[in-house]
Amino acid sequence: MSRENILIVGGYGEVGSKMATMLLTSYPNKIWIAGRSFEKAKQFCAQHHHLAKPIQMDVSKTVNAQQLANVALVIMCLEQKDTAFALLCLKEGIMYIDITASYAFLKKLEELHPIAKQNNATAVFSVGMAPGLTNLMAMHAAQQLASIEKLHISILLGAGDTHGNAAILWILHQLNIPFYSYKNKKTTNFTNRRKVPFKELGKRSVYQFNFSDQHTLAKHFPTIPIMTRLGFDVESLNWFVSFLQKSRIAKLLKFNKIQTTLASLIQKIKIGSEVCGIHVEAIGKKHHKEAVFTLDFLDRDESLVTAKVATAIAKELLNNKHPFGTYHIEELFTLETLQAQFTFSSQ
């Protein structure tokens, strides 16, 4: 059976809708917009001259393989509780992209590697700004040195950006969940402040945060510390979140209702800008001397950046042959893959 359609789960959401809009220019009448709300899917398709097809699909429940007939690629834009849907896609030989940022879930997806190989399917994870662009930038920076001793990844989010509700809830949820960093050190989110320069903006405070890139990159550099930090463009907001964490008030955020209320307020109260940025610093040796290589990225609208990354990877999978199995973005692609979409500066 010839497969040709692209199914975007969560295709009417913040990231999915932007991704679908970009893909429609290259694949008109081959995009399926899926989600629990058939009305929202229909509305998106109507806004795009019905060049996309609406699909009612709830991946938290059992999905029938027949619903995936004629689907070549699935792009998952929703957080999932289990890998049942991804497993179904791979068993059907369907290519799969997931933009989740949860390392716990990514580890579960990694375990599907044998299934993907057995059924001639390719899955790519860590696809977005962070993780994703951060992975590729870190790999590129490290490769500029003869040997690497430390990798610092700093992520800047604009406080005035229209982040998806799921993204905000994920950040708030993480404040109460410690993680294990280099050498199994227990680390609390939004601690261990560091000030780093972001192109055109100047220095901002960033704090250690449990982004998955630092964990997946450790497979490539198991003997060096890799630390990912997060901060916002408004320095007072960085101070406020840090204060919440230190004062233990953040523990109140373990309650879902408080998380949801705060996430809603954050989306309504616009402070700061829509800027987003990444600063990567690789420390090591080059020509037998101590050396530092930095790589910078600055743009606007983090969800659009994620959509651009996912769209580029989708086109790569559809247009070129890649090994079967499950892979993180840096295992199949390099920063050059995204050179046409973004501008980087190095030093």
- Residue 207: closest CA among 224, 193, 225, 223: 193
Domain boundaries, the chain: 5-128+304-334, 129-302
- Bridge partners of residue 314, in order along the sequence: none
Tens-binned pLDDT, residue by residue, of the chain (347 aa) = 468 999 999 999 999 999 999 999 999 999 999 999 999 999 999 999 999 999 999 999 999 999 999 999 999 999 999 999 999 999 999 999 999 988 999 999 999 999 999 999 999 999 999 999 999 999 999 999 999 999 999 999 987 777 655 666 677 777 778 899 888 899 988 899 999 999 889 999 999 999 999 999 999 999 999 999 999 888 988 888 888 777 766 676 666 676 676 666 666 666 778 899 999 999 999 999 999 999 999 999 999 999 999 999 999 999 999 999 999 999 999 999 999 999 999 98
Which residues fall within 8 angstroms of residue 179, CB to CB, at 6 or more apart?
A: 186, 187, 189, 210
- The rounded Cα 14 to chain-centroid distance in angstroms is 13
- The rounded Cα 115 to chain-centroid distance in angstroms is 23
Place of tokens 């901002």: 204
- Quote the pLDDT of residue 27: 97
Q: Select 129-302's CATH number: 3.30.360.10, 3.20.80.10, 1.10.10.2120, 3.30.750.24.
A: 3.30.360.10
Torsion sign, CA atoms 310, 323, 87, 92? positive
Which residues fall within 8 angstroms of residue 182, CB to CB, at 6 or more apart?
A: 218, 224, 225, 226, 227
Beta carbons of 91 and 115 less than 8 angstroms apart? yes
Which tokens go with 264?
Answer: 């809603």
Secondary structure of the chain in the HEC alphabet?
A: CCCCEEEEECCCCHHHHHHHHHHHHHCCCCEEEEECCHHHHHHHHHHCCCCEEEEECCCCCCCCHHHHCCEEEEEECCCCCCCHHHHHHHHCCCEEEECCCCHHHHHHHHCCHHHHHHCCCEEEECCCHHHHHHHHHHHHHHHCCCEEEEEEEEEEECCCCCCCHHHHHHHHHHCCCCEEEHHHEEECCCEEEEEEEECCCEEEEEEECCCCHHHHHCCCCCCCCEEEEEEECCHHHHHHHHHHHHHCHHHHHHCHHHHHHHHHHHHHCCCCCCEEEEEEEEEEEECCEEEEEEEEEEEECHHHHHHHHHHHHHHHHHHCCCCCEEEEHHHHCCHHHHCCCCCEEEC
Q: Which pTM value belongs to this model?
A: 0.93
Which residues fall within 8 angstroms of residue 198, CB to CB, at 6 or more apart?
A: 154, 156, 204, 277, 279, 296, 298
Q: Largest Cα–Cα distance of the chain, in whole Å?
A: 62
Give the class (CATH, top level) of 5-128+304-334.
Answer: alpha beta
- Quote the pLDDT of residue 91: 97
- Quote the pLDDT of residue 1: 45
